[in-house]
Amino acid sequence: MDTYQKYKIIVINLQRTGDIIQSFHILYSLKKSYPNSEIFYLTNNIHSASLSIISEDIKGMFSIDYNLLYQNIITNRNITDAFLYLKNFIKELNNFQFKKLININFSLLSAILSNMIDADEKIGAILERDNCIKIENGYLKKLFCNLENKNFQANIVEYFLKGLKITYSHPHSLPHLPTAKEKNHLNIVLHPGASRSEKEWGLENYFKLSKLISEKLKDIRIVITGSKTEIEKNRLLQERLSKASIQNQNLTGEISFKELLTTIQNSDYFISSDTSIAHLSSLTTTASITIFLGNCYHFHTFPYAVGRIVVYPDIKCYPCNADYLCKDQSCKNLITPEDILSIILKTYKGKNALMTYLTRDGFIKLKNINITQTLEKYNSVPTT
């Protein structure tokens, strides 16, 4: 076998769809840093659909069956079947003879798998024989210890790049992303839904924003996206837009991850709360505005790309405690459609800014996060 066939890297990420998509920045950077390697990805069967986006960029994908494991262990108390499943699964993986294993999340199961999978070098959380999770890498250890610390101002991607000692490479020129030849409208993609209601900005705000944009910029087209569980909710938004004579298209529940990626790429703006699709937008060159609410901390999970705008409430209780939510969630009222409109008017090419970024004496903070700035900011982070 030649060198290309010999050097195999396996990346483990068993987290949710958003975390998986966020990790694509690490995968592309790995691919650039190790051009003569084969990269494999291990995830869970529940969120594996998002990997279709990078199917052309990885050598292979492995999917562990969460349902089978949890059903056998928790529901049926059948430890034997769960053990046999894991044993055969690991045996298949070890046939690949990996040179490097990278565990990019900190769950117990991922640490167990990192222990069981053979590799010459292992990076990230690994379960030791004394049942303790061990993280030797200084950057990743610091990240693990500070994930719940809102004063720890670091993006997760940033620390993994540092820990892996690889140079960042943005996947902004994906070969499978067709670009529209003509745009007759200002195309704005709205993704109102989120995994939890406390993260959502609200349909009323998205509708008011659409009206404001149409009044200021006239020739616009709103594209609504979402999952199949959000079809009914987004249909209500579409009906209101149509009644207001705002041109729109509702793609909720109708398109794949790859098609959604293309839709965002062929638009001028993408607006959402902190969702997996916000991370998806960071793989494109489209301007994005991400609204952070609830217990979602923007520094840890902002869409990792140059010039992305992040909006979050400047109040003491943000981000809120995950175990306690206030009744009215007042932070949602601090970010208004007028605020988001001001950003669009400020950044829209060919248009003069009609309002400033801060509209109400600092209730809203805006961060135009630049990758170069964040890299420089954390150059002083210790390596041990």
Q: Each residue of 258-269: pLDDT tens digit?
A: 899 989 988 889
Torsion, CA 16, CA 19, CA 25, CA 30, rounded to 10: -70
Task: State yes or no: cis peptide before 171, omega within 30 of 0.
Answer: no
Q: Looking at the structure, tell me whether residues 238 and 320 fall in a common domain.
A: yes
- pLDDT on residue 81: 80
Q: Looking at the structure, tell me whether residues 342 and 211 fall in a common domain.
A: yes
CA–centroid distance for 323 within its chain: 22
| 370 token code pair | 């630049």
Q: Looking at the structure, tell me whether residues 65 and 96 fall in a common domain.
A: yes
Q: Looking at the structure, tell me whether residues 64 and 115 fall in a common domain.
A: yes
Which of 94, 129, 164 is at the close of a domain?
A: 164
Q: Looking at the structure, tell me whether residues 325 and 271 fall in a common domain.
A: yes
For the question of whether the overall pTM of this predicted structure is more than 0.95, the answer is no
Is the residue at 171 inside a domain? Answer: no
Q: Looking at the structure, tell me whether residues 140 and 208 fall in a common domain.
A: no
Q: Looking at the structure, tell me whether residues 143 and 238 fall in a common domain.
A: no
Who contacts 238 (Cβ-Cβ below 8 Å, separation ≥6)? 224, 248, 250
Name the helix (H) or strand (E) containing 251. none
Q: Looking at the structure, tell me whether residues 302 and 215 fall in a common domain.
A: yes
Is the residue at 43 inside a domain? Answer: yes
| 54 token code pair | 């990078």
Is the residue at 224 inside a domain? Answer: yes
Mean pLDDT computed over 25-35? 89
Torsion, CA 41, CA 43, CA 45, CA 48, rounded to 10: -60
Instruction: Provide the domain count of the chain.
Output: 2
Is the residue at 169 inside a domain? Answer: no
Is the residue at 174 inside a domain? Answer: no
- pLDDT on residue 322: 61
Q: Looking at the structure, tell me whether residues 51 and 109 fall in a common domain.
A: yes
Is the residue at 239 inside a domain? Answer: yes
Residue for token pair 């990192």: 114
- pLDDT on residue 349: 61
Task: Report the distance separating Cα 170 and Cα 282, nearest Å.
Answer: 9
Is the residue at 251 inside a domain? Answer: yes
Is the residue at 382 inside a domain? Answer: no
- pLDDT class for 377, splitting at 50, 70, 90? very low
Q: Could you tell me the sign of the dihedral formed by the alpha carbons of 17, 18, 21, 27, in that order?
A: negative
Domain that holds residue 353: 186-375
| 203 token code pair | 């349909």
Q: Looking at the structure, tell me whether residues 102 and 49 fall in a common domain.
A: yes
CATH of residue 222's domain is: 3.40.50.2000
Which of 164, 197, 219 is at the close of a domain?
A: 164
Q: Looking at the structure, tell me whether residues 110 and 197 fall in a common domain.
A: no
Which of 132, 164, 196 is at the close of a domain?
A: 164
Torsion, CA 144, CA 146, CA 149, CA 153, rounded to 10: -110
Q: Looking at the structure, tell me whether residues 120 and 250 fall in a common domain.
A: no
Q: Render pLDDT for 335-362 as a digit per residue (tens, 0 to 9).
A: 889 888 888 887 776 433 222 333 333 2
Q: Which has the minimum average pLDDT: 14-18, 45-49, 158-162, 328-332?
A: 328-332
